[in-house]
Structure 1
C-alpha cells in the first residue's frame, strides 16, 4: 500500500524539484536519506525530477529539470508545455510503482501542479514540502498558500519567518534550519581554494555570478559585465605603477559556470567588455571560497557567499514588460529579494533590482565594498548575526528523519512548529 512502507522492501521516495539550486538542495537531501536508510537498516530507492547533482548523489532521474525554470511572467511561458509533458510522463511512471513518500523542493509553479496531481492520484501517499516557495515574502493572494497547505502533510521550513507564516496558515510545520549550513563543510578554506585556482593570497579576486537561468543571460549578464568593466578600469587607474601589494594584472575576475550551456554567451561577453576573466566549470566552491567580492544574481548562492563571509552585491532583472506588469497590474512588492536579507528581514547585502541595476550603480557599490574596510566589517558583522539565526548543522539529517518517519507511519501526524 503506498504511503505505508514495508520494512522488507526498499523505502520508495520520490523527489520533485527543478533548476540549479533545487538540484543542489535535492542532492544534499538524497545523501541524507541514504544515511537514514543505513541507520534504519533498510534499503531505499529514490526517484526524482532533478539534475546531475541528484543523479550523482544516487537518485534515479525520471526527468532532468535543472534547466527548466524561470522567474517572471513572459520568461516562464516557453517552459509551460515542456514542464507539463515532463510531469505527465513522471506521473505515469509513478503509477507503475507508487512511492511511500513524496518530497517537493521549492519550484513553485511546477510543484503546485505536482502536489495537486499526486494528492488526487495517490491519496494515501504522504507529501512533504521541503524549502517551501517564498509565498511568505511575495504572496499576491492566498490561493497558492492555501493549495500548499491543503495537499502537504508536513512542511519542513528553512527560514524562521517561513515557518511562522505557514504555521499561521494552518500547515503542519517543522523548522529544520537551512541546509546550506551542512554544505559549508564541503567548501575549501580560502587558502586551499586559492591554491587550487593558482591565485596568490594577495591577489584580489572578484567572482561574477551572472546566471543559472536562461533569461538571466539575456537581462542580467550585460549590465553585470559592463559594471565589471568599470570596476576593472577604476582599479587599474587607482593602481598606478605595479607594486607588491597591487600586481599588474589586478583585478582578476572568475566566473563559475552553473550550466555548461552558458559558456559561449559568457565567453563572448568577456571579449566584448575586455575583461581579464577566467571561466571555470566544476570549481564553483573554490571560486566562492577564494573571492574578495562577488557581483551576483539573486538566489541560493547569496547565502553561500554570506556563510563564507564574502562581501557581495546582489542583482535582479527581468524583462521590462514583466517588470511593468508586476509593478502596475499585480502591485508586486517585496521587502527583500536575496536570502541573506530575508533571514532577518534587514538589508545585510545591497540589492540592485531592475532599473536600479545599472552598470554605474553596480560598479559604485562594488568598489565601495572592495575598498572600504568599514563597509566590509559591517557586512561581516551582519553575516555573523544572520548565521546564528539559521539553526544548527545537521539540517539535512533532520529533514531526512522527518521524511522517513512520515513515510513509515502514514499521514496522521500532529501539527507542530519546532525550533
Structure 2
C-alpha cells in the first residue's frame, strides 16, 4: 500500500549526459522530499546512474542516442518501443509531476502525450534542448513551450530565448557547478591510477555513442599518434562511460600503437589526472572546464548529414562547445567536421602541453565561464521548484523568472 504522503514523479531523458543529470536531480529531489516529509516514487526513462540514485526504470535510453539525420535512423524503432513502454506506465499510474530532461524529439512526443492524455499532470522541462543555439525550426520551439508548464533553464541565454516565445521560464543555473565546486586534484588522481606525477598525460574522450566510435574516434587516435611521436613519454587515458564501447576503445589503443589504457567507470579521475583532454563536443566540455583541465574539442558526423546541415538547413552556430557558448567567445579550440583533422587537433593539444601561457589563458576563460553558470545549489533549487509543482499543482518562483 502506498504511503499517503507518497508522490509519484516521472522523469524522461536519454543518453549518458541525461542519465548523469537525471541522477543528480533524483538525489536532490530525495533530499528535499525528506525535508518536506514526503516520500517519492520515481519512475524514469533513463540509465543506470538514475537507477542507482533511486529511480525505477521503465526503459533504458543511454544506448540509443545520436547526432545527425542518418545517424538517428537505426534508433527510431527502439525509441518508439521505449516510448510505448513509458506511456503504458504513465497510463497505469499517472504521476503527480513529470520532468523532461533534454532529449528533444522523444521528449517532444512525451510532452505532447502528457498534455493530451494526462493534462492534470504539471510538466517541467529541465535542461531544455539548445534551440537557442541551433534552432532549425521555430515550430519545434513553440511545441516545447506548449508542452511545458515551466521551463527550468540552465543557461541565461536559454532562459531569455524561451521567454521570448512565451514560456514560463526560470533560470536555475547549471547543475555541474554543484558537481565540480573546485578544480581537480591532479596529484591525487595520478596516485590513484598509479601514474608518474611528472609525466605528460593526455585523456581522450572520443565517444559516448556508437556513431562517434565510427566517425570521431579514429581521428582522435590518429591525433594521439602524432602527439606520441613528438612527446614519447606521454600516457593516454580513455575513460569509457558505456560498457558496450569498452572493447572498441581497447582495440583502438592497440591498433594505433598508443601507450595508454582504458579507464572503466571513473571518467572524473581520468580527466583529473590529465595535462590536456581531447574530447568530443558536449556536456563533457563543461565538466573538463569546471575541473580546470585544458582541452581541445572536436566533432564529426556522417559526411552527408553534415552537408545537409550546412548547405540545406543552413546550420550556422558560432560555437558548439558549451564552454564557448556560455561566454560567446573562444575559450577552447573547436575542430568540426572537415576542420577536425588529426594534424590540427594534435597541434592544438601539443600547444597546451608545452605552452604554460596558453594553459593559463584557457583557465582564465574557465573562471569567466564558471561565473556565468550561476551560484551553487542548482540541483536543490530545481528540486524545490519541481516539488512545489508536485504539491501545489503549479510551479512557484526560484532565482527569478525571466
TM-score by structure 2 length?
0.97
- Alignment of 1:59 onto 2:42: no
2:248 corresponding residue in structure 1: 265
Determine if contact 1:22/1:105 at 8 Å carries over to the other structure.
yes
SS in 2 for 1:119: helix
- Alignment of 1:25 onto 2:25: no
Match of 2:343 among 360, 363, 370: 360
Determine if contact 1:12/1:100 at 8 Å carries over to the other structure.
yes
* Aligned 1:139-218 pairs, distance under 5 A: 139-185=135-181, 189-218=185-214
Determine if contact 1:210/1:224 at 8 Å carries over to the other structure.
yes
Change (3 A) 1:175 1:410: same
TM-superposed deviation, 1:414: 7.6
Deviations, residues 143-185 of structure 1 (Å, cap 9, x unaligned): 1110011110111111111111111111111111100011115
TM-superposed deviation, 1:88: 0.9
* Aligned 1:362-377 pairs, distance under 5 A: 362-377=345-360
Between 6-15 and 304-313, report the one with greater CA deviation: 6-15
1:245 corresponding residue in structure 2: none
Change (3 A) 1:22 1:368: same
1:346 corresponding residue in structure 2: 329
SS in 2 for 1:230: helix
Change (3 A) 1:89 1:293: same
2:386 corresponding residue in structure 1: 403
SS in 1 for 2:353: helix
Structure 1 residue runs of 4 or more that deviate by more than 3 Å after TM superposition: 185-188, 411-419
Deviations, residues 360-408 of structure 1 (Å, cap 9, x unaligned): 1111111111111111111011111111111111100000000000111
1:125 corresponding residue in structure 2: 121
- Alignment of 1:304 onto 2:300: no
> What CA distance in whole angstroms lies between the structure 1 residues aligned with 2:395 and 2:202?
50
Match of 1:222 among 205, 218, 223: 218
> What CA distance in whole angstroms lies between the structure 2 residues aligned with 1:290 and 1:217?
23
Aligned alpha-carbon RMSD (Å): 1.7
> What CA distance in whole angstroms lies between the structure 2 residues aligned with 1:367 and 1:375?
11
- Alignment of 1:69 onto 2:52: no
* Aligned 1:82-93 pairs, distance under 5 A: 82-93=78-89
Match of 1:382 among 365, 368, 372: 365
Deviations, residues 59-81 of structure 1 (Å, cap 9, x unaligned): 11010101111000000011111
SS in 2 for 1:104: strand
TM-superposed deviation, 1:112: 0.8
Deviations, residues 61-105 of structure 1 (Å, cap 9, x unaligned): 010101111000000011111111110111011111100000000
Determine if contact 1:16/1:104 at 8 Å carries over to the other structure.
yes
> How many residues are aligned here?
401
Deviations, residues 6-45 of structure 1 (Å, cap 9, x unaligned): 9923111000000000000000000000001100011111
- Alignment of 1:336 onto 2:319: yes
> What CA distance in whole angstroms lies between the structure 2 residues aligned with 1:187 and 1:310?
8
Determine if contact 1:104/1:111 at 8 Å carries over to the other structure.
yes
2:40 corresponding residue in structure 1: 44
1:239 corresponding residue in structure 2: none
Between 326-335 and 206-215, report the one with greater CA deviation: 326-335
TM-superposed deviation, 1:335: 1.2
TM-superposed deviation, 1:190: 2.0
1:246 corresponding residue in structure 2: none
1:327 corresponding residue in structure 2: 310
> What CA distance in whole angstroms lies between the structure 2 residues aligned with 1:150 and 1:92?
23
> What CA distance in whole angstroms lies between the structure 2 residues aligned with 1:280 and 1:378?
29
Deviations, residues 90-139 of structure 1 (Å, cap 9, x unaligned): 10111111000000000011111111111111001000000000000000
Match of 1:283 among 243, 266, 288: 266
> What CA distance in whole angstroms lies between the structure 1 residues aligned with 2:183 and 2:370?
16
> What CA distance in whole angstroms lies between the structure 2 residues aligned with 1:185 and 1:57?
20
SS in 2 for 1:170: coil
TM-superposed deviation, 1:417: 4.8
TM-superposed deviation, 1:141: 2.3
Change (3 A) 1:414 1:232: closer
Determine if contact 1:13/1:44 at 8 Å carries over to the other structure.
yes
TM-superposed deviation, 1:200: 2.5
Match of 1:252 among 235, 258, 265: 235
2:301 corresponding residue in structure 1: 318
